[in-house]
Amino acid sequence: MNKLIPLFASFFLLAACAGTAPTTEPATAPAADSATISTPAATPAQPEQSTQPQTAQPEQSAAQTVQQSTQQSTQQSAVLFNSQQLDSYRLSTPENIPSADNFTGAAPAIPQADSAATQARTLDPYMAFPALVDEVFAYADSLYKAGLVDSATAYLERFRIIKPLWLQWEKRADSLLNEFGKTRAELSKKYEPLVLKIQNMNRAQAAYSLVAESADSLVALNPGDSLVTWADEQKKIAYSNTLQKARRDLAEIRALAEGRAEFNAAQEKLKEFQLRYRDFEDSLQTAALAARIQELAAVADSVAKNYWATHDPAQALAQADTLKNQEKFPEAKDLLNKLMFSNMRQQALEKYNALADAYCNKQRKLTSQLFTKAQKQKDPQNKKSLLQEAIDSLDNCLVEYPDYSQKQKVVDNKNFLQKELSK
């Protein structure tokens, strides 16, 4: 009886060992929600085992097998990827890949755009998509350099299979373009009569006020951004056409006053001009021409009909030139105005234009000096005072000689100084 007890004990021990022997089924891939993000470690491939349970093993060997199985399970749960599993199944689920929040490796140098600036500007696909792709490559490279080769591979694999999505986006873009095209065609047909009317008006060089009225009517109908832009361009064309015509008409009025001394007729035509070209008062400075006509009329009244019968016009013309060289501009201007009523009217007009150039060039030079001096001032009040003096010098030119040959440069310089003054 004593001999049978150890025999039964051995039998039950062998049965227990057989029940705890590990199976040879390959370990399944870890679930996405149970994967832990950590530094991966190389996991050696397990040797293939028989699918039949072992029926006879020493007690110590069975215990070691159970311990190795436990260690293998612990290692698999502690690592990110398993090479054998990657080859047999899939690379990774999205949760397996380290994100920028928990990745401790060397992060890629990706410039961060200002969020407010990004919202303020329109997204450019030709800039946004390449930048996004560069970020993907940079992050994959950073994973690789940090030793997370499997993670880098899985990350890029996800990028490579994006093509079906891109095809869907293209189809959606085609669908939207088709819808937009139908809407544009409907709008084009709806506003075609008014569009043709504006086109014909500009071809006939109609007055700017008429074209502007029709263009504003088109914009008020909210025809779409393209037609709104087109209407604005048509207004600019009409403005340019009318401005050229207005300049020709104004030159005729000036010639009537300065060339023929017909001041009453010039004043009447100027009044008609101002009514017809109200939109061009500032551009053409018709008020300055009106003042010039009044100035010449006043000189004509002061000069006796027989004045030049007792004075030499040629000598007076030479004297005016001398006064200009001496920078006695008011005296030279007064003498030249008198010469407008002599038999040397044309020569006096040429000298008058030369006097305007000399006077305005001096004012521009003074403006430049004042601006340079203002830039060196540390006191803001002194700087503003000098800038205002510079602007006044340019105004002197525009007031005294509104028909100065370099008038546009003077206007541009004045606008620049006014911006500096407002800072």
Tens digit of each residue's pLDDT (9 = 90 or more) over 112-164: 445 555 455 677 888 888 888 899 899 999 989 998 888 888 888 888 888 78
Average of pLDDT values for 15-28?
40
SS3 358: helix
Task: Please check whether residue 157 is in contact with residue 180, taking contact to mean a CB–CB distance below 8 angstroms.
Answer: no
Q: With 50 as the cut, is the pLDDT of residue 55 above it?
A: no
Whole-model pTM: value is: 0.47
Per residue in 151-195, pLDDT (tens digit) is 888 888 888 888 788 888 889 988 998 888 887 777 778 888 899
* pLDDT of 288 higher than 50: yes
Q: What is the mean pLDDT of the chain?
A: 75
Give the pLDDT score at 87.
39
Burial 91-121 (b: 16+ CB within 10 A, else e): bbeeebbbeeeebeeeebeeeeeeeeeeeee
Backbone phi, psi, residue 402, to 5°: -65, -15
Spacing of C-alpha 91 from chain mean position? 43
Nearest-angstrom CA–CA distance, 42 and 369: 78
Greater confidence, 226 or 215?
Answer: 215
What's the pLDDT at 296?
84
**101 or 50, which is more confident?**
101
Would you say residue 323 has pLDDT above 60?
A: yes
Nearest Cα residue to 354 out of 324, 395, 326: 324
Average pLDDT rounded to a whole number, residues 218-242? 89
Name the band, by pLDDT with cuts 50, 70 and 90, for residue 304.
low
CB proximity list for 402: less than 8 A, separation 6 or greater: 285, 288, 289, 292
pLDDT at 210: 92
Give the span between the Cα atoms of 58 and 320, in whole angstroms: 133
The closest of 340, 421, 408 to 375, measured between CA atoms, is: 421
pLDDT of 373 higher than 80: yes
Distance from C-alpha of 370 to C-alpha of 42, rounded to nearest angstrom: 78
Q: Within 10 A of 370 (CB to CB), how many other CB atoms are there?
A: 20
Long-range contacts of 172-176 (CB under 8 A, 24+ apart): none
Among the residues of 326-406, which ranges form H helices?
Answer: 329-339, 345-375, 380-400
Domain assignments of the chain as residue spans, ordered by start: 84-100+127-158, 191-302, 313-423
For 395-421, the pLDDT digits (tens) are 999 888 888 888 889 989 999 999 998
Query: What was the pLDDT predicted at 354?
Result: 93
Average pLDDT over residues 245-260: 87
> How confident is the model over 85-101, as a mean pLDDT?
43
Tell me what pLDDT residue 22 has.
40
**83, 151 contact by CB (below 8 A):** no
